[in-house]
Chain A
Amino acid sequence: MEMRSKVPLILWVLVGLVELLFVQHLEASAGEWHIYKEVRTRSEDGHTLKFCKNLNGPVTAWLILGKKLEGAFKGRLPVYRIDDGSIRSIADSEKKTPKEGTYINWEIDDGKASPGQLLKEFMEGKRVVFQYYLYDGVIKEAAFDLSGCREAISELLTSRLD
């Protein structure tokens, strides 16, 4: 009983210590810290689409497949279409991750000035469909609702400290 009554006190002390360490570390090496923000949405099938940005860095888009579809990006890279727009291929992006695992990310905007055409399309769209290609020629699609995407990406882009 005695020990149980001391639990809040111990927790409070621990929180205090962590806070102290955190602040000290921040002061000691402020240049090594990163501001990293992300906005994300999920499809009905459990896949994830997210946009990430480092402070003053580029915006990267991520497509993460929710199911165990290892090797989904080993062959042809996915394509996507927003509403009735043109079909865009992730292969056209110069900076993208290696084709491993069940996720892929690619640079969609340099994040320096106002959003570029590719990012704008997401912000102004209503729905995006990604088509990805599994082994043996199986083709699958993942659809994401883009309502609210404009506000989310605007928030992502305005997260500057300078």
Chain B
Amino acid sequence: MSDLLGRHYKLFLIILCIFLFAGYLQRCNLSSYSSRRLEYGFHGVEQWAVGPMRWTWKTARLVVDAKTDLLGLYVYNLQHLKSGPAGVPLKIFVDDRELDIVHLKQNYLTGLYYYIPGIAGRDISIDLYLDKTFTPYKSGLGYDFRQLGIAVSRPVSLEIMPPDGIGFYEWESWDEAIPGLSIEGPVKVRWTGRQSSLPMEKVRKAQRRLFIKSLHPDIGTRPVKLKLLGDRDALAEVVFTDTSWKEIIVSDDQLRQNKVLTLVVSRTFNPKELGISDDSRDLGLVVVLP
């Protein structure tokens, strides 16, 4: 046997290399390989109540054939992946452009939805970056020795823009007088995330007037930029340098020519991460919405 190995060691080495490379390709999920369709950083598919989910490594890339401009995925963070006080920071890039940074709460399924004009009908890449992973075995979760990040669904393309918009946190009622806005009783507001979108119909209901303000703790020293985007073009850019309300008026033309209004905030803040309060949300700006 050793004689045989000695004579054909080169052949054995080649076969070994082929097997190793095949294993690598399988891990990279290259069943339909092309340079654009490279997916990596995932363990096998598991069937969950919400549908098929995959655990990521520390970094992962998804490739999706976007059917519409409305992209969504849901992510789950198990309590054993610990990071900052507000949760695990997840960086999301689409086609190498930074889209969002969100803190994922522990034991929490989070739906992430974005309106990205122009992606419909294209293959896009979604990169996910975490700062650490965990091993279930070390956390006392049985004989699972895998390095796990977060569980991620297959990305979905939504056909309908939800009437209440996407990327906003739940409604809040604030007892606050807003200059220029005469409303009896508390005003209904919503916090944006890094990127939030709403149907223009909502803007029409608000008589084309949006009242927005920043509450970033360091707003006095670091301004926050807000970009307002239509279906294809930028509509306006507003800079916030203090915590006062700003009134933004969407023109009749902009209302007519666009179906969706997207608000992109240059940076968010996380009150829990900053030790201000127990609020672990990634907050952008406050918007008064009907």
Partners in one complex: yes
B108 proximity list for chain A (CB < 8 A): 136
B185 proximity list for chain A (CB < 8 A): none
Q: In B93-125, which residues have CB < 8 Å from any A CB?
A: 108-111, 113
Kindly state whether residue B175 has any CB partner on chain A within 8 Å. Answer: no
Q: Is A129 a contact of B160 with CB atoms below 8 Å?
A: yes
The closest CB in chain B to the CB of A133 belongs to: B162
B109 proximity list for chain A (CB < 8 A): 135-136, 138
Kindly state whether residue B141 has any CB partner on chain A within 8 Å. Answer: no
A81 proximity list for chain B (CB < 8 A): 159-160
B49 proximity list for chain A (CB < 8 A): 67-69
Complex: how many Å from CA A138 to CA B49? 12
Q: Is A141 a contact of B158 with CB atoms below 8 Å?
A: yes
Q: In B123-169, which residues have CB < 8 Å from any A CB?
A: 156, 158-160, 162-164, 166
B113 proximity list for chain A (CB < 8 A): 139
What's the nearest-Cβ distance from chain A to residue B46, in Å?
A: 15
The closest CB in chain B to the CB of A129 belongs to: B159
A139-B111, A139-B113 given; A134·B158 CB < 8 A = no
Kindly state whether residue A56 has any CB partner on chain B within 8 Å. Answer: no
The dominant DSSP class at the B interface is strand
Q: Is B50 a contact of A79 with CB atoms below 8 Å?
A: no
Kindly state whether residue A26 has any CB partner on chain B within 8 Å. Answer: no
Q: Is B158 a contact of A139 with CB atoms below 8 Å?
A: yes
Complex: how many Å from CA A89 to CA B109? 25
Q: In A83-140, which residues have CB < 8 Å from any B CB?
A: 87, 89, 129, 131, 133-140
Contact with B along A36-78 (1 / 0, CB 8 A): 0000000000000000000000000000000111000000100
Complex: how many Å from CA A139 to CA B110? 10
Q: Is A79 a contact of B162 with CB atoms below 8 Å?
A: yes
Kindly state whether residue B245 has any CB partner on chain A within 8 Å. Answer: no
A149 proximity list for chain B (CB < 8 A): none
Kindly state whether residue B72 has any CB partner on chain A within 8 Å. Answer: yes
Q: Is A143 a contact of B74 with CB atoms below 8 Å?
A: no
B111 proximity list for chain A (CB < 8 A): 134, 136-139
Contact with A along B46-63 (1 / 0, CB 8 A): 000111000000000000
Q: Is A138 a contact of B50 with CB atoms below 8 Å?
A: yes
Complex: how many Å from CA A60 to CA B177? 45
Q: Is B50 a contact of A141 with CB atoms below 8 Å?
A: no
What's the nearest-Cβ distance from chain A to residue B164, in Å?
A: 7
B51 proximity list for chain A (CB < 8 A): 67
Q: Is B74 a contact of A87 with CB atoms below 8 Å?
A: no
Q: Is A87 a contact of B164 with CB atoms below 8 Å?
A: no
Contact of A87 among B50, B158, B163, B166 (CB under 8 A): B163
A136-B108, A139-B113 given; A131·B50 CB < 8 A = no
The closest CB in chain A to the CB of B112 belongs to: A137
What's the nearest-Cβ distance from chain B to residue A130, in Å?
A: 9
A68 proximity list for chain B (CB < 8 A): 49
Q: Is B110 a contact of A136 with CB atoms below 8 Å?
A: yes
The closest CB in chain A to the CB of B113 belongs to: A139
What's the nearest-Cβ distance from chain A to residue B194, in Å?
A: 15
Q: Is A87 a contact of B110 with CB atoms below 8 Å?
A: no
What's the nearest-Cβ distance from chain A to residue B168, in Å?
A: 10
Complex: how many Å from CA A129 to CA B113? 18
Other than the given A68-B49, A139-B158, A139-B166, 7 more pairs (CB < 8 A) read A67-B49, A69-B49, A79-B163, A87-B163, A131-B160, A138-B74, A139-B72
Interface, chain A (partner B; CB < 8 A): 67-69, 76, 79, 81, 87, 89, 129, 131, 133-141, 143
The 7 A-B pairs with the shortest beta carbon distances in the complex, nearest first, are A137-B111, A138-B111, A136-B109, A131-B160, A129-B159, A138-B74, A81-B160
